[in-house]
């Protein structure tokens, strides 16, 4: 009789434990699948359109955007149990460009599981900014970065965020175009402290759908990136007053603004 009771209890325990209760159904965190993160650039409630869309900032200044690029690096995810996974650094550097639709889908390999939050750096971390050039490959290749216009050779550093466009409020250049330029970088300095505009961004995925990473199925976290937040924030940025901002103290205020550009719209599992 005791033998049958033991079998009954074992069967009860087996049916009472769902594989969904595990972080990884296989029980092996070495089993990885693809997590896609989509960076959908918008301006307020409108899709960002390079060269044609006309937008208005909080100060009532109208402008068009001709170029938008930014680095997304050092990606981490945290599962619903609170366990964090850091994507290996050599697989965690991406350059998002509004002109390149494919670049707006950042894909990383993470252990199978359900993820409640996502963290990344907008910019390039200080260690990667100063490591040997031979180790900086792909989008971090300084020569490639200069081709992309995302590396200051004179300052030996990456431009984390670049937005350029036109506005009637900007001064006319020699060609007669009224251009604004925001080239924001600064990793804190190598031999002496300098501007540090590295921004860590954490996205809560629980309100609009956790990411369920499974074998054979690519979860896509759809993030909206509102470029108006670069102008409108703790500091309202005036194109008339600041048509060009690069390596200056005011760049820290722009960086504080653009760290708020990201929000989670939905997840496709």
Q: With contact defined as beta carbons under 8 Å apart, do 196 and 186 qualify?
A: yes
Cα–Cα distances (Å) from 236 to 66, 194, 227, 240, in that order, read 21, 24, 13, 12
C-alpha distances out from residue 68 to 41, 51, 63, Å: 9, 11, 13
Model pLDDT, residue 29: 64
Phi and psi for 144 in degrees, rounded to 5?
-65, -35
16 vs 151, residue with greater confidence: 151
Distance between CA atoms of residues 129 and 187, nearest Å:
7
pLDDT on residue 92:
96
Mean pLDDT of the chain: 88
* pLDDT tens column, 164-206: 999 999 999 999 999 999 999 999 987 788 899 999 999 999 9
Give pLDDT, residue 189.
81
3-class DSSP state of 121: strand
Cα maximum dimension of the chain: 96
Could you give the number of structural domains in the chain? 1
pLDDT over threshold 80, residue 14: no
Query: Can you read off the two tokens belonging to residue 178?
Result: 């009224």
pLDDT category at 145 given cuts 50, 70, 90 is low
Rounded CA gap, 199 and 187, in Å?
10
**Which range marks the domain in which residue 126 is found?**
2-268
CA angle, corner 151, sides to 49 and 198, nearest 5? 80
Q: Are 164 and 218 in contact (CB under 8 A)?
A: no
CA separation for the pair 35, 13 (Å, rounded)? 32
% of the chain exceeding 90 in pLDDT: 74
Cα separation, 205 vs 130, in Å, equals 33
User: What residues does 114 pair with on adjacent strands?
Assistant: 212
- The CA distance from 178 to 251, in Å, is 20
106-130 burial code (b ≥16 CB/10 A, e <16):
bebebbbbbbbbbebbbbbbbebbb
Q: Write out pLDDT tens, residues 222-265.
A: 999 999 999 999 999 999 999 999 999 999 999 999 999 999 99
Backbone φ, ψ for residue 25 (5° rounding): -55, -30
Contact 229, 260 (CB under 8 A): yes
pLDDT of residue 2: 42
Dig out the tokens for 96 from the structure. 């998002």
């Amino acid at each position: 009789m005791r033998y049958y009771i033991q079998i009954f209890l074992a069967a009860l325990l087996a049916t009472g434990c769902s594989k969904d209760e595990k972080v990884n159904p296989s029980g092996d965190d070495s089993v990885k699948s693809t997590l896609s993160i989509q960076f959908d650039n918008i301006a307020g409630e409108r899709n960002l359109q390079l060269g044609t869309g006309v937008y208005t900032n909080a100060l009532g200044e109208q402008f068009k955007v001709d170029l938008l690029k930014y680095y997304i690096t050092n990606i981490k995810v945290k599962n619903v149990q609170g366990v964090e996974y850091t994507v290996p650094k050599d697989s965690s550097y991406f350059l998002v460009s509004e002109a390149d639709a494919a670049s707006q889908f950042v894909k990383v390999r993470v252990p199978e599981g359900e993820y409640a939050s996502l963290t990344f750096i907008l910019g390039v971390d200080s260690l990667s900014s100063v490591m040997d050039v031979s180790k900086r490959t792909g989008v971090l290749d300084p020569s490639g970065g200069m081709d992309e216009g995302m590396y200051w050779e004179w300052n030996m550093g990456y431009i984390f965020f670049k937005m350029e466009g036109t506005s009637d409020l900007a001064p006319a250049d020699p060609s007669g175009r009224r251009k604004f330029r925001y080239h924001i970088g600064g990793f804190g300095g190598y031999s002496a402290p300098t501007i540090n505009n590295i921004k860590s961004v954490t996205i809560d995925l629980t309100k609009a759908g956790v990411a369920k990473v499974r074998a054979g199925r690519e979860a896509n976290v759809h993030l909206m990136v509102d470029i108006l937040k670069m102008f409108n924030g703790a500091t309202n940025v005036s194109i008339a007053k600041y048509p060009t901002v690069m390596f200056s103290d005011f760049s820290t205020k722009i960086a504080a603004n653009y760290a708020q550009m990201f929000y989670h719209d939905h997840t496709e599992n």
